[in-house]
Structure formats: structure tokens, C-alpha cells
């Protein structure tokens, strides 16, 4: 079982860019891939100083994080130019982040120069920070099923001939519903919904893949 304190978020903050050419008919987007799972920023104006202001986050536990650091699993960011009219997507360049630099203490963002930059006359850069944050989801014990209050066992006058012991749920496979009680007394239909708030003690994947992903905009 993984305790809640062991749950972390790898947070990559993609803040802004500089030294980009102006392309009014295009948009810029940054896609980030970690261990085969991909997140992306929303498209922003293709200006010389694009404002991304987006955080991309992956959920992970400490054991999987340790394995990824040993394996030097990278976080690769690719920058694309989008043509909204044709949906054409041009690769502009990429950045590789070292997961080992992510710390649980706040780090100042850094400027990273795009590698294999299509805009060879420009030294395009993106300001990025990478950090580990404690996953602040609701604790495991915050939601518990409560037993229904005891019933007095009394039967309404209209059902005086019905024994409470006969009121059981029986699946009607042909009609696709559960019937509660004898058919001659069943006159109403009800819908029951069940909400699963969270899950615990699930088996961890052996390959150390992270648990999920989340995107948020700052």
C-alpha cells in the first residue's frame, strides 16, 4: 500500500518564451512527454514573447520516481507552430528536462534554449521550472460509507398482506432491472446511482509507470 505522503506530482511550469519570430497567422503550443504519456499547453499567439503560463503535472509515487531517476527517464518538451486554418503542425524545436533536477523545494525558473530550432536566425528560449509537489487529494479516510438507520419493520395498510421478509431484490434479466418484492405490489420505478470517490490498495504496475496525469493553467 502506498501512503498518501508518498504521492507526489511532477510539475513542469511552462511560463513564457522569448526571441521568437512574429507569425500572426500561427499559434504556438508546447507538448510534454514523460514515460510515454503526453500533456500539452493551450495554443497561444505566435509572438516574439509568447505567454504560455501553464503547468503540466503527472502523478507519481516515490518508489516509481526513484526508478525513473535511476533510469534517467527524460521529460521531453516539443514546441510546435500551428496553422489554425489548415491545422498544419510544424516542429519548431525541443527541450529535454532532467528529472533528477526536480526538488520538493521551490526552484527559480530557468531559460532553456530550443534545440534543433527551425528558426535558425533566432535563439528562441522558453522559461521553465520543474518541481515536485505533495499530492493534496482528499485523505483516504475522509469518505466512509454509513449504515442506513434501522427500520421499524411496519408495513403500510395498503401492503398489509405482504410479509417484510418477502421484500427482496430479484434480478429481472429480460427487462434489465431489479424487482423488489412480489410483482403485484411493484408499481414504481427507481434509479439508484453509486459514486466511487477513490480507490486504495490497488496493485502497483511493475514497470513503474506513473499513476495519472493532470493539467492546470496558472
Residues 6+ apart with CB under 8 A from 171: 177, 178, 179
Q: Bridge partners of 9? A: 59, 133
Report pTM: 0.61
* pLDDT higher than threshold 80 for residue 73: yes
Q: How many CB atoms lie within 10 A of CB 206?
A: 6
* pLDDT higher than threshold 50 for residue 88: yes
Q: What does the pLDDT read at residue 109?
A: 94
Q: What does the pLDDT read at residue 79?
A: 97
Q: What does the pLDDT read at residue 40?
A: 94
Share of the chain above pLDDT 90, in %: 49
For the record, the C-alpha cell of 210 comes out as 506513473
Share of the chain above pLDDT 70, in %: 74
Tracing cell 405482504 back to the chain, one arrives at 162
Mean pLDDT score of the chain, rounded to an integer? 80
Burial of 197 (0-12, 13-18, 19+ CB in 10 A): exposed
Can you tell me the distance from the alpha carbon of 178 to that of 61, in angstroms, rounded to the nearest whole number? 41
Can you tell me the distance from the alpha carbon of 97 to that of 128, in angstroms, rounded to the nearest whole number? 9
What is the three-class DSSP state of 100?
helix
Amino acid at each position: 500500500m502506498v501512503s498518501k505522503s508518498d504521492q507526489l506530482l511532477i510539475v513542469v511550469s511552462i511560463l513564457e518564451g522569448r526571441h521568437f519570430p512574429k507569425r500572426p497567422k500561427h499559434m504556438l503550443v508546447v507538448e510534454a512527454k514523460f514515460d510515454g504519456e503526453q500533456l500539452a499547453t493551450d495554443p497561444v499567439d505566435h509572438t516574439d514573447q509568447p505567454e504560455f503560463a501553464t503547468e503540466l503535472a503527472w502523478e507519481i509515487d516515490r518508489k516509481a520516481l526513484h526508478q525513473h531517476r535511476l533510469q534517467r527517464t527524460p521529460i521531453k518538451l516539443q514546441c510546435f507552430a500551428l496553422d489554425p486554418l489548415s491545422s498544419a503542425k510544424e516542429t519548431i524545436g525541443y527541450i529535454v528536462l532532467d528529472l533528477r533536477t526536480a526538488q520538493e523545494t521551490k526552484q527559480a525558473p530557468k531559460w532553456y534554449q530550443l534545440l534543433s530550432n527551425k528558426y535558425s536566425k533566432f535563439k528562441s528560449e522558453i522559461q521553465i521550472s520543474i518541481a515536485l509537489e505533495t499530492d493534496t487529494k482528499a485523505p483516504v479516510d475522509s469518505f466512509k460509507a454509513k449504515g442506513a438507520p434501522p427500520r421499524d419493520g411496519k408495513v403500510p395498510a395498503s401492503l398489509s398482506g405482504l410479509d417484510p421478509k418477502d421484500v427482496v431484490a430479484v434480478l429481472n434479466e429480460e427487462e434489465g432491472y431489479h424487482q423488489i418484492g412480489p410483482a403485484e405490489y411493484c408499481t414504481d420505478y427507481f434509479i439508484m446511482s453509486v459514486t466511487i470517490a477513490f480507490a486504495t490498495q490497488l496493485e502497483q504496475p511493475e514497470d513503474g509507470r506513473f499513476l495519472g496525469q493532470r493539467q492546470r493553467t496558472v
